[in-house]
């Protein structure tokens, strides 16, 4: 009699956001439509009380937590976030427009389990105003990067990148809009890659697992 493995429980995602949460909504829609499987959104957490992304999450019937960061020491705030995420059983933390640098203590609580998306082809143009940086530099190609988060800003191992051409008449706003459209496709795809477990990290390289020899 063959042995049947029990189905693996869905991975619980914890979404961190500070604003409108368009990437969060893209992830939620990908899960709803079945394009992103094997996970659920356990909680949406914001450090801004009136973040539109919180209202969007509530309208979807998702659990939300507000932990206002203003006026709270960074280490204390991040400890509070870790406690909230653990209460909701979060396995993988997904930053979706979360506008604060995470402490080392937070990252130690979720080792190699924090993802971020950045609107440039890292390592080019890290930090704020990446689209403006690309235009000022004269880049012909821009895009987005999904990466694991480490203690440096926009530095962790790259999971996936997608390119966007820079048009001659682009402004910061038009380029940002086109990159964001690509982000909405790239982030669910990158999460699916991580959930699959079919990869290895060697140095700074994310390497998909090699297929088994036939």
DSSP letters spanning 26-88: HHHHHHHHTSS-SEEEEEEEESSTT-HHHHHHHHTT--EEE---TTS-HHHHHHHHHHHHHHT
CB-count exposure of residue 129 (10 Å: 0-12, 13-18, 19+) = middle
| C-alpha of 77 from chain center | 20
- Which of 118, 147, 155, 184 does the annotation list as catalytic? 118
Contacts of 85 (CB under 8 A, 6+ apart): 14, 43, 45, 93, 109, 110
Residue closest to 94 by CA, chosen among 152, 142, 147: 147
Residue closest to 66 by CA, chosen among 41, 85, 45: 45
Given its phi and psi angles, is residue 34 left (phi above 0), alpha (psi -120 to 50 degrees) or beta?
A: left
Q: Active site includes 118?
A: yes
| 212 CB neighbour count, 10 Å cutoff | 5
- Does the bond joining 123 to the residue before it have cis omega, within 30 degrees of 0? yes
Active site residues: 118
């Amino acid at each position: 009699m063959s042995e049947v493995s029990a189905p693996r429980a869905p991975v619980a995602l914890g979404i961190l956001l500070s604003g409108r949460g368009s990437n969060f909504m893209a992830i939620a829609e990908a899960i709803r439509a079945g394009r992103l499987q094997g996970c659920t959104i356990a909680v949406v957490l914001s450090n801004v009380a009136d973040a539109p992304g919180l209202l969007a999450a509530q309208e979807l019937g998702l659990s939300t937590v507000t932990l206002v960061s203003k006026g709270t020491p960074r280490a204390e705030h991040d400890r509070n976030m870790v406690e909230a995420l653990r209460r909701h059983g979060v396995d993988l933390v997904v930053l979706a427009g979360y506008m604060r640098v995470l402490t080392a203590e937070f990252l130690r609580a979720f080792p190699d389990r924090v993802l971020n998306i950045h609107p440039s082809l890292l390592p080019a143009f890290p930090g704020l105003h990446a689209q403006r940086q690309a235009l000022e530099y004269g880049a012909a190609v821009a895009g987005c990067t999904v990466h694991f988060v480490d203690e440096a800003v926009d530095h962790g191992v790259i999971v996936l990148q997608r390119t966007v051409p820079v048009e001659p008449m682009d402004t910061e706003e038009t380029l940002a809009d086109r990159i964001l459209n690509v982000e909405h496709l790239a982030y669910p795809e990158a999460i699916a890659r991580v959930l699959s477990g079919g990869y290895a990290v060697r140095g700074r390289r994310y390497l998909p697992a090699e297929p088994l020899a036939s």
